[in-house]
Structure 1
Amino acid sequence: MVGDLRFSWELVGSGGAVYRIADGASEHQALVGYCTDALADMLYGLTGLYSDSPGERFSFDCEPMETRWLLRRQGTEVAVAVFEFPDGATSWGSADETGGVLLWSSVAARGVLCHAVVEAAEAMLREHGEDGYRARWRRYPFPVAALQDLRRLHRRDDGCRHQPCRNGLDSLGGRADG
Structure 2
Amino acid sequence: MLESGDTERHTEAAKTDWIRTDEWCTRPSHVFSTPVALSVKDQGDSVTRSLHFSWELSGSGWATCRIWDGSTKHQDIVSYCTNALADLLKGVTGLYGPHSIQRFSFDLEPAEARWILRRRNSDVHITICRFPDMSTSFDAPDGKGTLMWTSTRPRTSLAHAVLVAAEKVRRTHGEDGYLQKWRLHAFPTTELETLRHLHLAADNCALQH
Instruction: Give TM-score scaled by structure 2 length.
Output: 0.76
Counterpart pick for 2:85 among 39, 46, 59: 39
The answer to whether structure 1 residue 29 and structure 2 residue 84 are counterparts is no
Give SS of 2:197's match: helix
Structure 2 SS opposite 1:126 = helix
- Aligned counterpart, 2:154: 109
Asked whether 1:18 is paired with 2:69, we answer: no
Unpaired segments ≥5 residues, structure 1? 165-178
Q: Which amino acid aligns with 1:43?
A: L
Query: Which aligned segments of 4 or more residues in structure 1 are displaced greater than 4 angstroms?
Result: none
Q: Pairwise CA RMSD of aligned residues?
A: 1.1
Q: In the aligned structure 1, how far is the partner of 2:153 from the partner of 2:173?
A: 29
Kindly state the Cα deviation for residue 3 of structure 1 after the two structures are TM-superposed. Answer: 2.8
Report the Cα distance in structure 2 between the residues aligned to 1:45 and 1:111, rounded to whole angstroms. Answer: 14
Aligned counterpart, 2:177: 132
The match for 1:90 is: 136
Does residue 163 of the first structure (1) align with residue 199 of the second (2)? no
1:62 aligns with 2:98: no
The SS at the match of 2:143 is coil
Q: Partners in 1 of 2:123 and 2:176 — Cα distance? A: 35
How far apart in 2 are the matches of 1:31 and 1:163? 29
Shift of 1:54: 1.5
Structure showing greater Rg: 2
How far 1:99 sits from its partner (Å)?
A: 1.4
Q: Percent identity?
A: 49
For structure 2, the residue ranges without an aligned partner over 5 or more in a row are 1-47
Which amino acid is 1:74 matched to? R
